[in-house]
Amino acid sequence: DQQVKQNSPSLSVQEGRISILNCDYTNSMFDYFLWYKKYPAEGPTFLISISSIKDKNEDGRFTVFLNKSAKHLSLHIVPSQPGDSAVYFCAAIIQGAQKLVFGQGTRLTINP
Amino acid sequence: NAGVTQTPKFQVLKTGQSMTLQCAQDMNHEYMSWYRQDPGMGLRLIHYSVGAGITDQGEVPNGYNVSRSTTEDFPLRLLSAAPSQTSVYFCASSYSAGGKYIQYFGAGTRLSVL
Protein backbone atom coordinates (compact mmCIF):
# COMPACT_ATOMS: atom_id res chain seq x y z
CA ASP A 1 0.00 0.00 0.00
CA GLN A 2 2.08 2.87 -1.36
CA GLN A 3 0.52 5.99 0.16
CA VAL A 4 2.90 8.36 -1.62
CA LYS A 5 3.78 7.64 -5.24
CA GLN A 6 6.25 9.11 -7.67
CA ASN A 7 5.36 7.41 -10.93
CA SER A 8 8.32 8.69 -12.95
CA PRO A 9 11.55 6.90 -11.96
CA SER A 10 13.60 9.29 -14.06
CA LEU A 11 13.40 12.63 -15.86
CA SER A 12 15.83 14.29 -18.24
CA VAL A 13 15.70 18.07 -18.83
CA GLN A 14 17.85 20.49 -20.74
CA GLU A 15 19.76 23.11 -18.76
CA GLY A 16 17.81 26.35 -18.48
CA ARG A 17 14.44 24.69 -19.02
CA ILE A 18 11.78 23.94 -16.42
CA SER A 19 11.86 20.64 -14.50
CA ILE A 20 8.54 19.35 -13.19
CA LEU A 21 8.50 16.47 -10.75
CA ASN A 22 5.19 14.92 -9.76
CA CYS A 23 3.89 13.15 -6.70
CA ASP A 24 0.52 11.61 -5.82
CA TYR A 25 -0.81 10.55 -2.44
CA THR A 26 -3.76 8.50 -1.29
CA ASN A 27 -4.19 9.39 2.39
CA SER A 28 -6.40 12.48 2.73
CA MET A 29 -5.21 12.87 6.34
CA PHE A 30 -1.76 14.05 5.20
CA ASP A 31 -1.51 17.76 6.00
CA TYR A 32 2.12 18.61 5.31
CA PHE A 33 4.28 17.78 2.33
CA LEU A 34 8.01 18.00 1.73
CA TRP A 35 10.50 17.60 -1.08
CA TYR A 36 14.01 16.27 -0.48
CA LYS A 37 17.02 16.17 -2.76
CA LYS A 38 19.58 13.39 -2.56
CA TYR A 39 23.04 13.15 -4.07
CA PRO A 40 24.87 9.79 -4.24
CA ALA A 41 26.54 8.71 -0.97
CA GLU A 42 24.83 11.51 0.96
CA GLY A 43 21.72 11.74 3.09
CA PRO A 44 18.60 13.45 1.77
CA THR A 45 18.51 17.22 2.26
CA PHE A 46 15.38 19.26 2.73
CA LEU A 47 14.39 21.38 -0.26
CA ILE A 48 10.94 22.88 0.21
CA SER A 49 7.67 22.13 1.97
CA ILE A 50 4.01 23.08 1.87
CA SER A 51 1.16 22.94 4.34
CA SER A 52 -2.22 21.66 3.24
CA ILE A 53 -3.72 25.08 3.94
CA LYS A 54 -1.75 26.47 1.00
CA ASP A 55 -1.71 25.59 -2.68
CA LYS A 56 1.67 27.08 -3.56
CA ASN A 57 5.01 27.74 -1.91
CA GLU A 58 7.97 29.36 -3.60
CA ASP A 59 11.63 29.52 -2.64
CA GLY A 60 13.96 30.93 -5.25
CA ARG A 61 14.04 28.61 -8.26
CA PHE A 62 11.85 26.03 -6.52
CA THR A 63 8.06 26.10 -6.34
CA VAL A 64 5.79 23.43 -4.93
CA PHE A 65 2.15 23.24 -5.97
CA LEU A 66 -0.49 21.31 -4.04
CA ASN A 67 -3.82 20.18 -5.50
CA LYS A 68 -5.72 18.69 -2.58
CA SER A 69 -8.76 17.64 -4.58
CA ALA A 70 -6.55 15.61 -6.91
CA LYS A 71 -4.21 14.52 -4.07
CA HIS A 72 -1.31 15.68 -6.20
CA LEU A 73 1.73 17.84 -5.69
CA SER A 74 4.45 18.93 -8.00
CA LEU A 75 7.87 20.52 -7.74
CA HIS A 76 8.90 23.04 -10.38
CA ILE A 77 12.55 24.00 -10.83
CA VAL A 78 13.16 26.99 -13.04
CA PRO A 79 15.65 27.45 -14.59
CA SER A 80 17.18 23.98 -14.23
CA GLN A 81 20.92 23.86 -13.56
CA PRO A 82 23.44 20.97 -13.80
CA GLY A 83 23.76 20.95 -9.99
CA ASP A 84 20.08 20.05 -9.78
CA SER A 85 20.88 16.55 -11.07
CA ALA A 86 19.95 14.31 -8.15
CA VAL A 87 17.22 12.01 -6.86
CA TYR A 88 14.17 13.88 -5.58
CA PHE A 89 11.84 12.40 -2.98
CA CYS A 90 8.46 13.73 -2.04
CA ALA A 91 7.19 12.97 1.45
CA ALA A 92 4.00 13.46 3.41
CA ILE A 93 3.11 13.58 7.07
CA ILE A 94 0.17 13.93 9.38
CA GLN A 95 1.46 16.66 11.68
CA GLY A 96 1.75 15.41 15.23
CA ALA A 97 2.14 11.79 14.10
CA GLN A 98 5.88 12.13 13.41
CA LYS A 99 5.80 9.45 10.71
CA LEU A 100 7.06 10.75 7.39
CA VAL A 101 6.00 8.68 4.36
CA PHE A 102 8.23 8.87 1.28
CA GLY A 103 7.67 8.30 -2.39
CA GLN A 104 9.98 6.08 -4.45
CA GLY A 105 12.02 8.96 -5.80
CA THR A 106 12.63 10.47 -9.25
CA ARG A 107 16.13 10.72 -10.70
CA LEU A 108 16.48 14.11 -12.39
CA THR A 109 19.25 14.61 -14.94
CA ILE A 110 19.98 18.08 -16.27
CA ASN A 111 21.72 17.99 -19.63
CA PRO A 112 24.05 20.82 -20.72
CA ASN B 1 28.22 21.94 13.08
CA ALA B 2 27.82 18.14 13.15
CA GLY B 3 24.03 17.75 12.80
CA VAL B 4 23.23 14.05 12.52
CA THR B 5 26.21 11.68 12.65
CA GLN B 6 26.01 8.03 11.63
CA THR B 7 28.65 5.37 12.14
CA PRO B 8 29.92 3.28 10.50
CA LYS B 9 29.61 4.45 6.88
CA PHE B 10 30.07 0.93 5.52
CA GLN B 11 29.66 -2.53 7.05
CA VAL B 12 29.75 -6.10 5.77
CA LEU B 13 28.18 -8.80 7.93
CA LYS B 14 27.70 -12.52 7.65
CA THR B 15 24.21 -13.97 8.04
CA GLY B 16 23.40 -14.37 11.72
CA GLN B 17 25.85 -11.78 13.00
CA SER B 18 24.66 -8.91 15.13
CA MET B 19 25.63 -5.27 15.05
CA THR B 20 24.56 -1.80 16.13
CA LEU B 21 24.30 1.19 13.81
CA GLN B 22 25.03 4.35 15.75
CA CYS B 23 23.24 7.67 15.34
CA ALA B 24 23.83 10.87 17.26
CA GLN B 25 22.41 14.38 16.86
CA ASP B 26 23.56 17.59 18.49
CA MET B 27 20.51 19.76 17.76
CA ASN B 28 18.50 18.76 20.84
CA HIS B 29 15.64 17.48 18.67
CA GLU B 30 12.97 15.40 20.36
CA TYR B 31 12.18 13.25 17.36
CA MET B 32 14.51 10.73 15.75
CA SER B 33 13.91 8.08 13.10
CA TRP B 34 15.58 5.25 11.22
CA TYR B 35 14.88 4.57 7.53
CA ARG B 36 16.14 2.09 5.02
CA GLN B 37 16.48 2.90 1.34
CA ASP B 38 16.14 0.16 -1.25
CA PRO B 39 16.05 0.53 -5.05
CA GLY B 40 12.58 1.51 -6.26
CA MET B 41 11.20 1.63 -2.71
CA GLY B 42 12.09 5.11 -1.53
CA LEU B 43 12.82 5.51 2.18
CA ARG B 44 10.85 3.27 4.51
CA LEU B 45 10.49 3.98 8.21
CA ILE B 46 11.89 1.28 10.49
CA HIS B 47 11.50 2.74 14.01
CA TYR B 48 11.08 6.18 15.44
CA SER B 49 11.25 7.96 18.78
CA VAL B 50 9.39 11.02 20.04
CA GLY B 51 11.68 11.51 23.03
CA ALA B 52 14.06 9.82 25.43
CA GLY B 53 12.58 6.54 26.64
CA ILE B 54 9.86 6.46 23.97
CA THR B 55 10.10 4.42 20.77
CA ASP B 56 7.60 3.02 18.29
CA GLN B 57 7.52 0.87 15.19
CA GLY B 58 7.44 2.18 11.67
CA GLU B 59 6.55 0.49 8.42
CA VAL B 60 9.28 -2.22 8.40
CA PRO B 61 10.34 -2.94 12.03
CA ASN B 62 10.93 -6.70 11.89
CA GLY B 63 14.50 -7.75 12.60
CA TYR B 64 15.45 -4.43 14.19
CA ASN B 65 15.50 -3.11 17.75
CA VAL B 66 15.96 0.43 19.00
CA SER B 67 16.31 2.25 22.29
CA ARG B 68 16.48 5.93 23.23
CA SER B 69 18.20 6.43 26.55
CA THR B 70 19.29 10.00 25.79
CA THR B 71 18.01 12.81 23.57
CA GLU B 72 21.21 12.69 21.52
CA ASP B 73 21.54 8.99 20.66
CA PHE B 74 19.27 6.56 18.80
CA PRO B 75 21.08 3.28 17.98
CA LEU B 76 19.60 0.65 15.66
CA ARG B 77 20.36 -2.99 16.47
CA LEU B 78 20.31 -5.94 14.14
CA LEU B 79 20.18 -9.02 16.37
CA SER B 80 20.66 -11.66 13.65
CA ALA B 81 21.46 -10.17 10.27
CA ALA B 82 19.78 -11.55 7.15
CA PRO B 83 20.55 -10.90 3.45
CA SER B 84 17.19 -9.10 3.20
CA GLN B 85 18.64 -6.43 5.48
CA THR B 86 21.21 -5.44 2.89
CA SER B 87 20.36 -1.79 2.36
CA VAL B 88 21.37 1.80 2.99
CA TYR B 89 20.26 3.01 6.39
CA PHE B 90 19.53 6.64 7.25
CA CYS B 91 19.02 8.18 10.64
CA ALA B 92 17.13 11.45 10.97
CA SER B 93 16.26 13.95 13.66
CA SER B 94 13.38 16.38 13.42
CA TYR B 95 11.24 18.99 15.11
CA SER B 96 7.90 20.70 14.59
CA ALA B 97 7.44 24.42 15.15
CA GLY B 98 5.20 27.16 13.82
CA GLY B 99 3.27 24.79 11.58
CA LYS B 100 6.46 23.54 9.94
CA TYR B 101 8.14 20.17 10.15
CA ILE B 102 11.90 20.01 9.64
CA GLN B 103 13.90 16.79 9.36
CA TYR B 104 17.66 16.41 9.02
CA PHE B 105 19.32 13.23 7.77
CA GLY B 106 22.68 11.65 8.44
CA ALA B 107 24.97 10.60 5.57
CA GLY B 108 23.88 6.96 5.77
CA THR B 109 25.32 3.51 6.54
CA ARG B 110 25.68 1.09 3.64
CA LEU B 111 25.19 -2.45 4.97
CA SER B 112 25.80 -5.69 3.10
CA VAL B 113 24.76 -9.02 4.62
CA LEU B 114 26.34 -12.06 2.96
Question: Residue B2: its pLDDT value, please?
Answer: 67
DSSP string, B27-64: S--SEEEEEEEETTTEEEEEEEEEETTEEEE-SS-TTE
From A36, A46, A99, residue closest to B48, measured CB to CB = A99
Helix (H, G, I), strand (E, B) or coil at B99: coil
All residues of chain B having their beta carbon less than 8 Å from the beta carbon of residue A49 are 100-101
CB-CB contact of A66 with A75 (8 Å): no
Question: What's the pLDDT tens digit per position in A17-32?
Answer: 999 999 999 999 999 9
What letter does residue A82 receive in the DSSP assignment?
G
Q: What is the pLDDT of residues B29-73, one digit of tens each?
A: 999 999 999 988 889 999 999 999 999 999 999 999 999 999 999
Q: What is the mean pLDDT of chain B?
A: 94
Predicted pLDDT of residue B41: 84
CA-to-CA distance for B58 and B48, rounded, in angstroms?
7
Q: Which residues of A touch B (CB under 8 A)?
A: 4, 6, 9, 32, 34, 36, 41-46, 49, 51, 89, 91, 93, 95-96, 98-105
pLDDT in tens, chain A (112 residues): 789 999 999 999 999 999 999 999 999 999 999 999 999 989 999 999 999 999 999 999 999 999 999 999 999 999 999 999 999 999 999 887 778 999 999 999 999 9
